[in-house]
Amino acid sequence: MVQERIIELLAEATATDAAEITADTAFADLGIDSLDLTEMAMQLEEEFGIELEMKPEIDTVGKLTEVVESLKG
């Protein structure tokens, strides 16, 4: 569920077809910048009731999904 939501938010932010985004997709390949990522992180915090700090090493959909999953417990 977390991954689907992340993909949905990314698809919306970049006007990309959600079907083209997978766990392996790197944020850099979607052409989004740190402002987009911060905004998405804020959205995820609100929806999943977590405190999320975006770090450079969280650079793919899969890695972000893992972090969010572990934070929401």
Partner 1 sequence: MRRIVITGMGVVTPIGNSVEEFKQALFSGKNGIAKITKFDTEDSKYQLAGEIKHLDPAEKLGKPFVRRNDPFTQYAVIAADEAMAQSGLNADAEKGEVNIDSERMGVCFGSGIGGIETLCADHTNLLEKGMKKVSPFFVTKMIYNIAAGNLAIRYKANATCTAVSTACATGATAIGEGYRTILHDYADVMICGGSEAGVLPLTVAGFGNCQALTDNTDPETACRPFDKNRDGFVMAEGAGVIILEEYEHAKQRGANIIAEICGYGSTCDAHHVTAPDPEAKQVARAFLQAIPEELKNLDCEKIYVNAHGTSTPLNDKTETKALKNAFGEEQAKRLHISSTKSMTGHMLGATGTVEAIAAVLALTENTIPPTIHYAEPDPECDLNYTPNQAVKTPVELALSSNLGFGGHNAVLAFRKI
| Residue ranges that bind partner 1, judged by CB under 8 A | 12-15, 34-36, 38-39, 42, 45-46
Q: How many CA atoms lie within 13 A of 57 on its CB side?
A: 2
- Tell me which residue of 55, 67, 73 sits closest to 6, measured CA to CA: 67
- Tell me which residue of 33, 34, 11 sits closest to 22, measured CA to CA: 11
Nearer to partner 1, 1 or 55 (CB): 55
Q: How far is the CB of 49 from partner 1 (least distance, A)?
A: 13
Nearer to partner 1, 14 or 60 (CB): 14
Nearer to partner 1, 1 or 46 (CB): 46
